[in-house]
Structure 1
Amino acid sequence: MTSTHRCPAAHPDDPTPCSGPTVVTVLDSGNAAADGCEHHAARLLASLERGRVYALPDAPAGAAIRVFKDADDIPPFVWFEGAPRTQPNQRSRADNRRKGVTA
């Protein structure tokens, strides 16, 4: 039997599998937290305003930095593939910088 367990950072509508073990904690602006693999943590962080990421104690070196950098290129709610990406709040932070849009 195949396990369908995914990390807590995986959004229920995101169909992608985890990329590995749970290695970071993502916090929103109200300090609500979700632990996650690097893949889902980056996707979650990209969808938050003023989110933060911290490595768990046993995380590989650089895990939080990789998540932070990956999130920069991911549009919010990337799993909604048909979503329009015309407004700044619908595009990745990196895309907004390329277009000269400031937050």
Structure 2
Amino acid sequence: MDNRCPAAHPEDPTPCGGPVVVSVLDAVNAGAVGCEHHGARLLASLDRGRVFSLPDAPAGAAIRVFKAAAGIRPFCWVDGPRTAPSQLSDIENRARQGR
């Protein structure tokens, strides 16, 4: 897909959800900037990832991405059954643990 933000995974078919407003970093500080939509999808697919708003981002962009990522399964564009904790969203894992 052309003209998508750097946070968009090549296999994720979805279009960007707006301008580039966040930076998503992994556990070793490698990362990508992206729109809120792809930022959330990337964050959901990382172990110990973090999100930060870019300087010109609208207020609350990083927290919206953080909250959205909690409900998204890692690599959500991949089909198939998901049963392992690493394949479920943070919200699904907390529900399984009774939290």
Q: Which residue of 1 aligns with 2:95?
A: 98
Spell out, residue by residue over 1:36-95, the C-alpha distance to the aligned partner (whole angstroms, 9 max, x if none).
000000000000000000000000000000000000000000010x23210110000000
Rounded to whole Å, the distance in 2 between the matches of 1:83 and 1:67 is 25
When the two structures are superposed, what TM-score results if normalisation uses the length of structure 2? 0.96
Structure 2, unpaired ranges of 5+: none
Report if the CA contact (8 A) 1:88-1:101 is conserved.
no
Structure 1, unpaired ranges of 5+: none
Corresponding residue to 1:34 among 32, 38, 44: 32
Give percent identity, aligned residues only: 66
Corresponding residue to 1:13 among 11, 14, 18: 11
**Letter of the aligned partner of 1:24 in structure 2?**
V
Q: Which residue of 2 aligns with 1:72?
A: 70
Rounded to whole Å, the distance in 1 between the matches of 2:9 and 2:98 is 27
**Letter of the aligned partner of 2:7 in structure 1?**
A
Corresponding residue to 1:52 among 32, 50, 53: 50
